[in-house]
Structure 1
Amino acid sequence: MSSTVIVRYGELALKSEPVRRRFERTLIESIENALGDIRHSIRTERGRIFIDTSSAARTTKILSRIPGITSLSPAVRTNASLDAIKIQAAKIAKKVLSPGMTFAIRTSRAGEHAFSSREVNVEVGSLVLSLIKGTKVDLSHPDVEISIEVRGNDAYVFSSTIRGVGGLPVGTQGKVLAILSGSMNDAAAFLMLKRGCKVTPLFFDTTNRLSHPATKRVILQAKRLSLFGADDHLWVFPFRKILGLIQEKTDEKTSFFIRRRCELRAAEIVARKTAAEAIVTGDDAELIEGIMLTNLNAIDGVCKLAVLRPLSCMEEDEIKEICEKIGLKHANRALPHQAKIDVAINIEELLKLEKILNVEKIIDDASKKTKRIKVG
């Protein structure tokens, strides 16, 4: 039997009509791409997208990861008549209710009908009470809610609502390059997806081995992010030689800044190749505090593109919560090589050291060995 999955979106509905239509088209494209070979058809009404499919459970699971969707409900579609609604509601009630349980009927309507929402609640509630003995109505804290949406000539009956990612559809807010570390700070890339950005992942490989545990961990992170709409290819930039040179020729504090500046130089090269408009890092509140805010300019000044830090106001527990919700591995936080910085860095000294190290040429040479591997 074919079911209908009701897709709801939030922020899109607040946009102007032309913007809303454009965002809705982008969201539908994301849905089509995500569903792949699942047989389905899509219908739209203001504030809702309806997907008719014989694979409702699989469809719901996939779409719960799509940014721009606030919630989903697998539903049964029927005629917008009281008798038809009662038949479908009774079938669902028999599946989800048993004696001793409490329930509530919730009805919403759009359009003109011969009955009110309250009449539907009363009629369906009375039917359920007569069919399943021992059940009670509880409008405050029911064990089960049976919901009915009546829209025009159609009615949809369902008993579950699955929370979505929310935010904006991927592709409505430009393209960014996100630096992954294989740690919980990779949640930064997810937050950019949630804000509607196309995300291309980048990893600085210090092992020169794709089979190394650290590299494999990043590949798994990139694969997980691809389920939410990130690019299913990971850019791998060879960084072992660069890091070795930095550590050999500089002290701990200086090496931290030169490494970060080199990473941004390298990221900008990849960003140009991928047409990304900004670079995303996983720097969180604690890390930025350790760097000192005034020193961020010394790092970012090497890059012409905007450097975005979506975790900059987040504590460790908040980041872990995001990771747990979306299934990212939250290993130790990123950048264990960071030193505690308690003074403003001298940018002139950094520039002199970089010139001595000839970092621009080394990064340029390394960029020619950059790999792009499929993770999805």
Structure 2
Amino acid sequence: MPEPTAEAAPAMDLPARVLEPGLEWRVIVRFSEIALKGRNKDWFMRVLRDNVERALSGLPVSKVTIRPNRCFVHLDDVRAWPEVRTRLRWVFGITNFSLALRTRPDLDALAEAFDILVPEPPASFCVRAQRGEKSFPLTTPEIERALGAAILRKHPMAVDLRNPELTFGVEIQREGAFAFVSHEEGPGGLPVGTSGRVAVLLSGGIDSPVAAYRLMQRGCQVVFVHFTSFPFTDPSSWEKSRELVKLLTRHQFASKLYACQFGYVQQRIVVTVPAELRIIAYRRMMLRVAEAIGRREGCEALGTGESLGQVGSQTLTNMATIDRAAELLVLRPLVAWSKSEITAEAQRIGTYDISIEPDMDCCQFLVPPRVSTHATLEQMEAVERELDVPGLVNLALAHTEVEEFRWPESAPSRS
């Protein structure tokens, strides 16, 4: 499913009766992975509820309630549904959701809801019901048969249980009866904020934004660290990183981007480290700088977009050698992905078009013609003894700027 943008939210021509006064609208938000949690399920649900509230801030939503297996958004103005739909598609932890009309828990009211939601009956339909409130007198199959018969008495249509043109959904819950005609897909995963904080090295290329997205999808709050060779090169990669963070912030509401002018460090490495080991030396130094930033931000791990064997510096030996420069755990969510798989995911989540814009990043500054594919820890420690490693880390931090991003602008800050 392509990632939507708020500016390009699909128009929705609401049926005329949907706008009638006095109707009660809810968005039923469903989640699956959270429902499998044990004693900490309530905490996961609270975080999801808070994230839904933040995503919908500034819209006509009076309340968001949650309980096991369901979250209910009280929508005061149904005309806001297209924007609500767009924003909920960005909230991790949501499996799917539906715009639903709340009615009395009886078949007559549900049949009337069909008339409101479906202005032109389709060629074929079926009724699918869920009975969460077990005190309701009919079983689920009985609800489907009786409600289907009531609708057919007024609207002659074909019944197709396998491939209907329209599925009329009904849920009988303790909050009331709800009728709907669509399921919108959510991004799944876990709510952001449930899995700790990770500092992700963001290059501006195709891979690292996807890695950040996947970590967010597993509940991580991401702090972004970008390395640029500006002012020795143009600032294009820095500008791209801003655009990428701005786009990804819609999944976690608040982000920090640390932009490190790494060229000052590269200048010192290039005069000391043999050419074939420079890329590994750069990467080890980047991890040290990212770790310093991560510890400042309370991060428990680092994240990169590396994929095993994709380029010469990303061999198993080199990755192991690079990792030893940091004490924090290094997460590589794309380590077993192919380039085509990563590219397809970047296109799906909306980062691809930004990532392919031409730039001059630090990996193109003072780069040797070849890189060692088997740089050992002993080799790197030997050449790094000629460097003032703590001094270079401090030099990099001294040339680091931080920028904060929020989405949506009306979202409240989380303490």
Measured against aligned partners, the alpha-carbon deviations of 1:37-73 in whole angstroms (never above 9, x if no partner) come to: 2233122232000011123332222121111111111
Matched, 1:30 2:85: no
Question: How much does 1:216 deviate?
Answer: 1.5
Match of 2:66 among 44, 48, 61: 44
Query: Which of 5, 10, 28 in structure 1 is aligned with 2:32?
Result: 10
Secondary structure class of the residue paired with 1:112? coil
Map residues 96-175 of structure 1 onto 2, 5 A cutoff. Answer: 97-98=121-122, 101-110=123-132, 111-132=134-155, 135-152=157-174, 154-175=176-197
**2:83 aligned partner:** 58
CA distance in 1, matches of 2:53, 2:232: 36
> Which letter does structure 2 place at the counterpart of 1:161?
H
Superposition pairs of residues 73-92 of structure 1, within 5 angstroms? 73-92=98-117
**How many Å apart are 1:175 and its aligned residue?**
0.9
Q: Does 1:349 align with 2:393?
A: no
The Cα shift of 1:164 comes to: 0.9
Distance 1:211 1:5, change over 3 A: farther
Provide the rounded CA distance (Å) in 1 between the counterparts of 2:404 and 2:48: 24
- Residue equivalent to 1:272: 295
Residue type at the aligned position of 1:61:
T
Aligned length: 371
Deviation of 1:342 (Å)? 6.3
What is the alpha-carbon distance in structure 2 between the residues aligned to residue 210 and residue 3 of structure 1? Answer: 54
Alpha-carbon contact 2:128-2:170 (below 8 Å) kept: yes
Structure 1 Cα separation of the partners of residues 119 and 143 of structure 2:
18
Matching residue of 1:245:
268
Unmatched runs of 5 consecutive residues or more in structure 2: 1-22, 407-415
Aligned partners of 1:213, 1:158: CA distance in 2, in Å? 47
Q: What residue in structure 2 maps to residue 367 of structure 1?
A: 397
Range with greater deviation from structure 2 (263-272 or 41-50): 41-50
Aligned mates of 1:174, 1:369 — CA distance in 2: 27
Return the TM-score normalized by structure 1: 0.90
CA shift for structure 1 position 224: 1.2
1:128-175 Cα deviation digits (max 9, x unpaired): 445445x42211111221111111361111111111111111111111
**TM-score when normalising by structure 2:** 0.82
Q: 1:121 to 1:239 in 2, by over 3 A?
A: same
In structure 2, distance between residues paired with 1:72 and 1:317: 30
Provide the secondary structure at the position in 1 that maps to 2:44.
helix
1:201–1:231 contact (8 Å) kept in structure 2:
no
Q: Secondary structure at the match of 1:287?
A: coil
Contact 2:101 2:113 in 1 (8 A): yes
5+ residue gaps, structure 1, are none
- When structure 1 is superposed on structure 2, of 253-262 and 118-127 the one drifting more is 118-127
C-alpha distance in 2 between matches for 1:77 and 1:33: 24
Contact 1:286 1:315 in 2 (8 A): no
Query: 3-state DSSP class of the match of 1:227?
Result: helix
In structure 1, what is the Cα distance between the partners aligned to 2:276 and 2:293?
26
Q: Distance in 2 between matches of 1:73 and 1:209?
A: 52
Code of the aligned partner of 2:125: F
Q: Counterpart of 2:189 in 1: which secondary structure?
A: coil
Does residue 70 (structure 1) correspond to residue 91 (structure 2)? The answer is no
SS of the counterpart of 1:115?
coil
Counterparts in 2 of 1:187 and 1:117: CA distance versus 1, 3 Å: same
Instruction: State the Cα deviation string for residues 6-55 of structure 1 (Å, max 9, x = none).
Output: 11111111111x31001111111111222222233122232000011123
- CA apart distance, 1:352: 3.4
Q: 1:243–1:2: structure 2 CA closer, same or farther, 3 Å change rule? A: farther
8 Å contact kept, 2:128–2:169: yes
Rounded Cα–Cα distance in structure 2 between residues aligned with 1:307 and 1:11: 25
Q: Indicate conservation of the 8 Å contact 2:313/2:373, yes or no.
A: no
Cα RMSD over matched residues?
2.6
Residues 309 and 316, structure 2, Cα contact 8 Å, conserved in 1? no
Deviation per CA, 1:101-126, whole angstroms, max 9, x where unpaired?
A: 32221111122212233333234333
Question: 1:108 and 1:210 mapped to 2: Cα distance?
Answer: 60
Amino acid at match of 2:392: I
Q: Identity of aligned pairs, percent?
A: 26
Aligned to 2:256: 233
Counterpart residue type for residue 288 of structure 2: R
Shift of 1:270: 0.5
Distance 1:230 1:84, change over 3 A: closer
Greater mean alpha carbon deviation, residues 149-158 or residues 36-45 = 36-45
Q: Write out the 4+ residue segments of structure 1 that deviate beyond 4 Å after TM superposition.
A: 130-133, 332-343
